[in-house]
Structure 1
Amino acid sequence: MKKKVEDYIYELEQLIELADQEKDKYLFQDPAYEIMDEIEELGNAFDFVEPIFLLVERSPDIDFGGPGPFGSFLEKFYRNGYEDILVKSLQRKPKKYTIFLLERLCNDESNPKREEYCTLLDSLKK
């Protein structure tokens, strides 16, 4: 039986819960890289971008990595829709991790929306 988006998100959610309970980020990060690699091989990898942000929004503030398995995956869609979904996530429920991802957008001096991202970042830091 083929796994669905929800199945992968559930697996990741379980890893996040375990890492939070045990206070060990590697209980999430190490296996999550394998899951993200599996997702990348699917033909619909972009379909996972928003569900991953929703997962981060409802998760405790664990160390997701810098950029970690999520960031490495999400940033593959940079300039292909990832930024808009990140901004929507930040508008709904900013988290340490999504603010970190926004900071990375602000570091790209060639990004035409850099000023907009930096303004949003400044407002979130207040």
Structure 2
Amino acid sequence: MVNEVEDYIYELEKLIALADQKKDKYLFIDPAYEIIDEIEELGNVFDFVEPIFLLVERSPDIDFGGPGPLGSFLEKFYHNGYEDILVKSLQRKPKEYTIYLLERLCNDENNPKRKEYCTLLDSLK
């Protein structure tokens, strides 16, 4: 599975570089949906959550979509470990996109950690 994770992350990384170079977010977004569809057919897809955050951390601040293919995939793990990995990513290297994902957590009035997430968001602005 590790090789699969690395291979898929590498493919996403190439798309990010192309979208950044050509200044066209759809060169990432459209094919990334197809890659995410492939990932979702694999065994333990949660293994991709942290590598995707690491990918975003080392990527240029492109428009990944709102939430786009990555966010749509990651948010499937909401209430199942996604939030903790997002917070760790923000502590390591906050990016526009991960801050946006945190804002989405703050919008959930039923989340018991909402105040904690909003405090973190305020500290990043």
TM-score by length of 2: 0.97
Identity of paired residues, percent?
89
Letter paired with 1:20: D
Partner of 1:60: 60
Partner of 2:76: 76
Letter paired with 1:101: L
1:101 and 1:54 map into 2 onto residues whose CA distance is 14
Shift of 1:63: 0.2
Residue 33 of structure 2 corresponds to residue 40 of structure 1: no
Partner of 1:112: 112
Letter paired with 2:115: E
Partner of 2:15: 15
Tell me the secondary structure at the aligned position of residue 80 of structure 2. Answer: coil
State how many pairs are aligned. 123
1:42 and 1:111 map into 2 onto residues whose CA distance is 29
The alignment yields a C-alpha RMSD, in angstroms, of 0.6
Gaps of 5+ in 1: none
Tell me the secondary structure at the aligned position of residue 7 of structure 2. Answer: helix
Letter paired with 1:22: K
Tell me the secondary structure at the aligned position of residue 4 of structure 1. Answer: helix
Moved over 3 A (4+): none
Tell me the secondary structure at the aligned position of residue 109 of structure 2. Answer: coil
